[in-house]
Amino acid sequence: MAYATIQRGASKDGYFAVPEEGSSFFISLSQASQVGVYEGLKLSQVEFEELRTVVLGARCRVKAMDYLARREHGRKELELKLRQKDFPPQIIAEQLDRLESERLLDDYRFATQFVSSRQRKNPEGPQVLSMRLRQRGVDRSLAERAISAWFADEDAAQEAIERAAQRLLRRCNSDSMRLHAELRKKGFSSQAIHRFFEERGDLLL
């Protein structure tokens, strides 16, 4: 007895693999021609699972590539987006592994671009940047490596704290102690803040 049957969709734009029990899945016309299925085809359980992996895997990859084409993503962030599209966890994991092996998905590259983008829009210190990356599922060592690489440019690091200070000055009313506290909240180290006050204390005048 067959485990599942291929049935034509009501809209005629594809097929459904329908098991005797459990959930069916859609197969577009283009996918059907690629995998060689047709209306009335009977499938064993093994054939059904293999077809499901191929069809949903291809669909999952297309969606992942669509997200990556817009901007870099971390693995965890991309996984959550694909889960929201109801792709099975195992298929998501297989496709993300494949994308990583092809270097199309890379947490370090994502971390590097995240830090660069964040510093352009709203400069922050290493501690806060590290927290933000870890919240996005980036491994601590990769996050710290990307942050260290950005802050290795002393001119860029100095510009970041100056821009952060300028954004905070109106709120702090030129109160140096309050500005110091706010910069600490932004994740800048006491050493970096002290150097900033020595070099650009004129901003408080």
Q: What is the pLDDT of residue 204?
A: 60
Reported as a single tens digit per residue, the pLDDT across 108-131 is 999 999 999 999 889 999 999 999
Query: Which residues neighbour 154 within 8 Å (Cβ) at sequence distance 6 or greater?
Result: none
Q: What is the pTM of this model?
A: 0.82
Helix axes of 107-121 and 126-135: crossing angle, nearest 10 degrees: 130
Q: What is the pLDDT of residue 199?
A: 78
Reported as a single tens digit per residue, the pLDDT across 160-176 is 898 888 888 877 777 78
- At 5, is the secondary structure helix, strand, or coil? strand
Pairing of strands 25-28, 42-43: unpaired
Rounded to an integer, what distance in angstroms lies between the CA atom of residue 129 and that of residue 73? 16
Q: Check the CA dihedral 122-128-132-137 and report its sign.
A: positive
Q: Which one of 1.10.1040.10, 1.10.3720.10, 1.10.10.10, 3.20.20.10 gives the CATH number of domain 4-101?
A: 1.10.10.10
Rounded to an integer, what distance in angstroms lies between the CA atom of residue 71 and that of residue 91? 22
CA-based max dimension of the chain = 86
Q: List the structure tokens of 200.
A: 């650009």
Q: Residue 197: count other Cβ atoms within 10 Å of its Cβ.
A: 15
Domain regions of the chain by residue span: 4-101, 107-204
Reported as a single tens digit per residue, the pLDDT across 41-80 is 999 999 999 999 999 999 999 999 999 999 999 999 999 9
